[in-house]
A and B are shown apart, each in its own frame.
Chain A
């Protein structure tokens, strides 16, 4: 199983809503990532979890709140988002956090904030 599964695939939310994005992997990977990708741009790193602990926060606004309940799951809680937060949100995993690691990506959640 080399899959990273993300739900939902599409999400439309208002600026006052609270929603969550979910990500799951069963490859035994101990590093998990959230990326944001706008159209025609490269993926941008948001957060890294290593062994279920937050390792990197790339100065992401607090309206994005990550959570890693266990080694297989990664959530991204969304609250009071802005229209400019509309993007494809990608989850990824790798065996561990560090150099020379291949990241395996999920299909993403296409988020639209109205």
Chain B
């Protein structure tokens, strides 16, 4: 049973436009969410995180939005650059019991075309 879902396996956008990557979760115990970026044959790199006490967190070109009632978060990249082309993983963890272990989604391959 997948607790973190990234329903779009891939996304293609034009350079300079906005990229929106979506993530849904089912475990109501999750209260901390992270986005990781991964290039081929490399480890995931931490990008941005958000705690459930917030609904938005911004870092440069990257903004994460959290809608707790919908159990949905999204990563906005604006403007998108060709170097942003990578697989983006959404991950979640919670405070209770074994929920603190990071659970990853399957990832979304973002391609930014020049």
A interface list, Cβ under 8 A from B: 4, 6, 40-43, 45, 48, 56, 88, 90-92, 97-108, 110
12 new A-B contacts, CB < 8 A, other than A41-B106, A108-B43, are A6-B43, A40-B106, A43-B44, A99-B31, A99-B100, A100-B31, A100-B51, A100-B95, A100-B100, A101-B93, A101-B100, A105-B44
Q: Which residues between 41 and 86 of chain B lie within 8 Å of chain A, taking CB atoms?
A: 41-46, 49, 51
In the complex, how many residues of chain B place their beta carbon closer than 8 angstroms to a beta carbon of chain A? 24
User: A110 and B41 in contact (CB under 8 A), knowing A41-B106, A99-B93?
Assistant: yes
User: A99 and B42 in contact (CB under 8 A), knowing A42-B105, A42-B106, A56-B101?
Assistant: no
B interface list, Cβ under 8 A from A: 31-32, 34, 36, 41-46, 49, 51, 89, 93-95, 99-102, 104-107
Please tell me if the beta carbons of A107 and B46 are within 8 angstroms of each other in the complex: no
User: A4 and B100 in contact (CB under 8 A), knowing A42-B107, A100-B51?
Assistant: no
